[in-house]
Amino acid sequence: MGTDVGLLLARDHEELERSLVMLIEPWRSDADKRSALDDLCVGFVAHAEGQSAVLWEALAQSPAAAVRRAVIQVFAAHEAQESVLTELRSVAPSTARWHDLVQQLRDLLRVHSEQEDQSVLGALRAHIEPARYQRLAGAYATERLRALGMLHPMSVIDRSARRPAARP
Ligand SMILES: [Fe+2]
C-alpha cells in the first residue's frame, strides 16, 4: 500500500509550523526572520497548490455533499492563512504586530490541521473508491513539486504569477 495523502498533508503542516516558530525565535536576526518568511511563503503556496490538486481530483471522483463541504472548508482555511501571510510580509520583523500575526497564523494552521484530521480526510476516505483515494497522494506530491519548482517567494502575494485556482 502507498503513502496516505493524509500523512503527506500532516507532514507539510508540521513543517509549516516549524517555519512559523523560526519567525519568533528571539535569538534570530531580522534578516534571518525575513529569509525564514520567504521559505515559509514558498512552502505554504506549494502546499496549498498540492492540496488544491487533491481536492479537485476528489470532487471529480465524488459529488457527495460531504466532499464538497470538505473542499470548501480547506479552500477557506488556506485563504485565511494566505491573507495573514500577505500582511506579515508588510510588517517589520520582531515588532508586536509581527508576533501577533505569526501567532494568528499558528492558530489558523492548528485549527486547519485538526479539521483535516477530523473531517476532511474522513469525507474523502468515505466517498472515494479506495484505489482512487490511494492515488491522491501521488497527485498531491506531483503538484506540490511542480509548484516548488516554479515559485518565487514574492509570488505568494501575486496571484497572477500562479496558475489560476478555480473555486468549487
Ligand atoms: Fe493545508
Note the pTM of the prediction, 2 decimals: 0.83
Q: Which one is predicted more confidently, 10 or 165?
A: 10
Q: Are 47 and 16 within 8 A, CB to CB?
A: yes
pLDDT score of 151 more than 50: yes
- 124: helix, coil or strand? helix
Cell of 60: 471529480
CA pair distance 45, 117, nearest whole angstrom: 20
Cell of 69: 463541504
The answer as to whether 74 is a domain residue is yes
The answer as to whether 168 is a domain residue is no
- Ligand 1 centroid to Cα of residue 97, in Å, is 24
The answer as to whether 117 is a domain residue is yes
The reported pLDDT for the residue numbered 155 is 55
- Ligand 1 centroid to Cα of residue 51, in Å, is 7
The reported pLDDT for the residue numbered 154 is 54
The answer as to whether 164 is a domain residue is no
- Ligand 1 centroid to Cα of residue 72, in Å, is 12
Q: How many domains does the chain have?
A: 1
Q: Are 112 and 81 within 8 A, CB to CB?
A: yes
Its domain, for residue 64, covers 5-151
The answer as to whether 167 is a domain residue is no
Average pLDDT over the chain reads 86
pLDDT score of 160 more than 60: no
Q: Which one is predicted more confidently, 149 or 154?
A: 149
Contacts of 83 (CB under 8 A, 6+ apart): none
The answer as to whether 119 is a domain residue is yes
pLDDT score of 146 more than 80: yes
- Ligand 1 centroid to Cα of residue 25, in Å, is 24
What tens digit of pLDDT does each residue of 18-36 get? 999 999 999 999 999 999 9
The reported pLDDT for the residue numbered 105 is 96
The answer as to whether 118 is a domain residue is yes
- Of 99, 88, 5, which Cα lies nearest the Cα of 44? 88
pLDDT score of 163 more than 70: no
Q: What is the mean pLDDT of residues 35-40?
A: 91
CA pair distance 145, 61, nearest whole angstrom: 23
What tens digit of pLDDT does each residue of 59-114 get? 888 888 988 998 899 999 999 999 999 999 999 998 999 999 999 999 999 999 99
- Ligand 1 centroid to Cα of residue 44, in Å, is 8
